[in-house]
Structure formats: structure tokens, C-alpha cells
């Protein structure tokens, strides 16, 4: 790599750390970092799934794709932030893995750093991927990789709590009707809604459906629409419809509150489906409503399969075969079932719903979802997001009004 590329890699290291997210609920792990330890008949894959051991369905799928392509697979699993930083270091040393599976907000950062090839360069076919999901891997008019699956946010609801409060879930179609439902729940002696508003990326992730559902844009944090979204959350706290604990809640602790059985609603993601089945009460799932109705755009979680820049360009042809195998219709279904993801293609989504009707609201939510780095925000997103979560914290704690908090955020984001 030339000197300018090396400088870009160094400059973006801190941005990668800032983009670390927890939306896929991955556990931590370690692995070796020598991508070029492999010979020409071995291809390296780095992924953020340390929770999957060598005998897991995911590892077997990788090995199967390797066999189909006539090569061996050397897989190393990292936690999300560690993977991003190792990928930068490897690129500086011209020692990149053949395939990187990356948390989607990191894609544009590594792309800008010169780590990744574009789909025009590597000839990956992305035509079957939903455009709104593919957008999370686009920057500067170019596409880097293809989504392997997606998760997002929706509202879980406790059917028994709503029944006792006299709330018909079909009446909840917009913010006004949702707030009316919360009022009924409180009057019935139960708790309304819980979510995560913690001062990290997790808090921004949970606020975005309401922000976007109001029609706000990330380039204009203090717009009238943005203020209405933050005022909604603040109003819920002031009226006791949401607990003050949301200021410190992670998505995990928010879920634990909902799992107590006292709350009517919880904003959370597909990764809680297994826990929902164990909760001990009947639950349902509702896409987060927009301010005036319809489904709000929620942010997408999930990973992209990407091809890093290689000194030996002759490796791309086999790498492309491996990626095509991993993202084939048949394998996507198996992979996304394993990862509790909604598939990135309409064909596989239909198959998922046919096999499990309870996934329908999640598919609907994913179809309305939006990448955090979409709208060509790329590496601008982490700074915007930091100011957003700071504004949410200031408003919910009462130190500033929603308007003043967001005005300060917009000034800082500039």
C-alpha cells in the first residue's frame, strides 16, 4: 500500500472503535491474526461470531463452501470491535483475510480507509439484496460487499397486560394511539414501555426509529421533526409511561424489565426472540409506528460479507465463489435461522415467514429499515450519533429541553 493509504488507515482507527455496536448481541472471543499464514489452497475468513464453535452450523457451512470451491477454509472469530481493528492492522501490513464479515456501520469506514474492494472490482452479484439493506454498505456511490442478514427493532408487547388495560393492539397505529394505550395501561396499574436511552451508540440505535419516524434527517438534528421525537420520549417519562431507568438501560437491561411481566411494551430486536419464548407470558410483535402512521424506519443491524484488497488479485475469483455460496438462497435461510436474522432477499424472507409466521412483523420491520450510514453519511455518522445520544441524555435527565439539547447537538455535529 502507498503512504497515503497507510495514513488513511491510521486516521480511521479511532472511528472504527467509535462505531462498535452491540446490536447483534455477540459474545467476546479471540483468534489468531495471521491471514497470510494460509497457502494458496487455503482461504481465510474473519467473522464476528465467536459464539459459534468449530462444530457449529455456521462453521460447517463455511467448510462446505470451501469444499465446493475446492479450497480449505481457515476461520478466525473476533468480537466486533476487535475484528475491525485487526482488519485495519492487517491491511496496513498487506496481510488481509480473503473475506471479512463486518458489522454494517463499519463497512463505510474500512472502505474509506482503502481496505475493501468494491463490487464493481470484485464482481459480486448484489442484485437480489433489498436496496434498503444494501445501502448500509454503500459509500461515495460505490457498494462494498453484500448483506448476509439483518436484524432491527420493533415493539414487543405483553398480550395479558394490554387485555387487562382494555387495549386492542390493532388500534395502535401511530404515536397518538400508542400514547393513549400507555395511558390506559398506567391507569390499570401496570407499566407502559421500556427502552434503552443509554449514552452510547445503543441509545442512538434505539432512538432512531422515533427520530426517522418523525421524518427527521441525521444532517439536521434540531429540526422540528427531531424535536417532536425527543419530546415524545420525554413526555412518556414525565407522565410515568416509561421508567427513569431508561437513561441507563442497555437493550439487555431493558429486556429484563419487560421480561418481568409488568410492562405493556418494550423496544427491542430480533435477537430477543429466544428469550421471548422463555418469558412465560403471551407476547406479540408490532413494527414501530411512525408519527402519523405506517411503519417507521428502524436502523439495521447485521453484517456484510466483504472482500478486502489483496496484493494477489488472482485470489478474487475463488473468494467470489465462496461468497456466492455463503449468500445463496439455500444457505442464507440456514445462516439467518442460526443468527436469528431476517434474510436480505425477498425470496428467503418469504421462506422464513412460511416456516414461522411469527417472523412476519420482523420482515415488515426490516423492509422499512434503514442503514445508519445510509444517505452517504459514511464516516460522518459516529460524530452525529454521539451528539444524538448526548442530546437524548440531556433531555431525559431534565438538564435541557428537547429543543435546546438538539440545538446543541446540531452545533457540535457540524
Largest Cα span, the chain: 68
From 245, 235, 225, 227, select the one nearest 179 (Cα to Cα). Answer: 235
Predicted pLDDT at 81:
75
Predicted pLDDT at 340:
82
CB contact set of 254 (below 8 Å; sequence gap of 6+): 194, 195, 196, 246, 266, 267, 268
Rounded to whole angstroms, the Cα distance separating 347 from 381 reads 31
For the chain, domains (ranges, CATH) are 3-151+300-367 (3.40.190.10), 153-298+377-413 (3.40.190.10)
Predicted pLDDT at 88:
94
Predicted pLDDT at 22:
42
CB contact set of 49 (below 8 Å; sequence gap of 6+): 26, 58, 77, 101, 339
Grid coordinates belonging to 51: 459464539
Give the mean pLDDT per block of 10 residues along the chain (414 residues): 37 43 36 47 95 91 96 93 90 94 92 95 93 93 94 97 98 98 98 97 96 97 98 98 97 96 96 91 96 95 95 93 93 86 95 92 93 89 95 98 98 94
Predicted pLDDT at 101:
96
Q: What is the DSSP string of 194-241?
A: E----SSHHHHHHHHHHHHHTT--TT-TTSHHHHHHHHHHHHHHHTTS
Predicted pLDDT at 414:
87
- Break the chain down into helix, strand, coil percent, rounded to 5: 50, 15, 35
Amino acid at each position: 500500500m502507498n503512504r497515503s493509504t497507510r495514513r488513511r488507515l491510521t486516521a480511521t482507527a479511532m472511528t472504527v472503535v467509535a462505531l462498535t455496536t452491540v446490536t447483534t448481541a455477540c459474545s467476546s472471543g479471540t483468534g489468531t491474526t495471521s491471514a497470510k499464514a494460509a497457502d494458496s489452497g487455503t482461504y481465510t475468513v474473519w467473522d464476528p461470531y465467536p459464539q459459534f464453535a468449530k462444530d457449529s452450523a455456521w462453521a460447517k457451512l463455511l467448510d462446505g463452501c470451501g469444499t465446493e470451491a475446492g479450497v480449505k477454509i481457515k476461520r478466525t472469530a473476533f468480537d466486533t470491535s476487535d475484528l475491525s481493528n485487526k482488519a485495519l492492522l492487517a491491511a496496513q501490513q498487506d496481510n488481509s483475510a480473503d473475506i471479512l464479515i463486518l458489522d454494517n456501520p463499519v463497512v463505510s469506514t474500512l472502505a474509506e480507509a482503502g481496505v475493501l474492494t468494491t463490487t464493481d472490482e470484485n464482481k459480486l452479484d448484489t442484485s437480489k439484496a433489498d436496496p434498503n439493506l444494501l445501502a448500509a454498505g454503500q459509500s461515495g456511490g460505490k457498494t462494498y460487499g453484500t448483506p448476509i442478514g439483518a436484524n432491527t427493532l420493533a415493539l414487543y408487547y405483553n398480550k395479558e397486560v394490554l387485555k387487562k388495560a382494555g387495549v386492542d393492539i390493532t388500534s395502535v397505529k401511530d404515536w397518538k394511539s400508542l400514547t393513549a394505550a400507555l395511558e390506559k395501561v398506567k391507569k390499570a396499574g401496570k407499566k407502559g414501555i421500556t427502552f434503552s436511552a443509554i449514552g452510547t451508540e445503543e441509545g442512538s440505535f434505539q432512538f432512531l426509529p422515533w427520530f426517522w419516524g418523525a421524518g427527521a434527517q441525521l444532517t439536521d438534528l434540531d429540526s422540528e421533526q427531531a424535536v417532536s421525537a425527543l419530546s415524545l420520549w420525554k413526555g412518556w417519562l414525565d407522565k410515568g409511561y416509561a421508567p427513569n431507568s431508561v437513561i441507563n438501560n442497555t437493550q439487555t437491561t431493558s429486556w429484563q424489565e419487560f421480561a418481568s411481566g409488568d410492562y405493556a411494551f418494550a423496544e427491542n430486536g430480533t435477537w430477543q426472540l429466544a428469550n421471548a419464548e422463555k418469558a412465560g407470558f403471551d407476547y406479540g410483535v408490532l413494527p414501530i409506528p411512525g408519527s402519523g402512521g405506517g411503519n417507521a424506519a428502524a436502523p439495521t443491524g447485521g453484517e456484510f460479507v466483504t472482500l478486502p484488497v489483496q496484493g494477489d488479485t488472482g485470489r478474487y475469483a475463488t473468494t467470489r465463489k465462496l461468497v456466492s455460496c455463503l449468500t445463496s438462497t439455500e444457505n442464507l435461510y440456514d445462516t439467518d435461522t442460526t443468527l436469528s436474522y431476517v434474510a436480505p432477499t425477498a425470496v428467503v424472507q418469504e421462506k422464513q415467514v412460511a416456516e414461522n409466521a411469527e417472523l412476519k412483523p420482523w420482515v415488515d420491520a426490516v423492509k422499512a429499515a434503514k442503514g445508519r450510514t445510509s444517505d452517504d453519511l459514511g464516516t460522518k455518522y459516529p460524530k452525529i450519533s454521539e451528539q444524538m445520544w448526548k442530546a437524548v441524555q440531556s433531555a431525559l435527565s431534565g438538564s435541557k429541553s428537547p429543543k435546546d439539547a438538539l440545538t446543541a447537538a446540531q452545533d457540535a455535529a457540524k
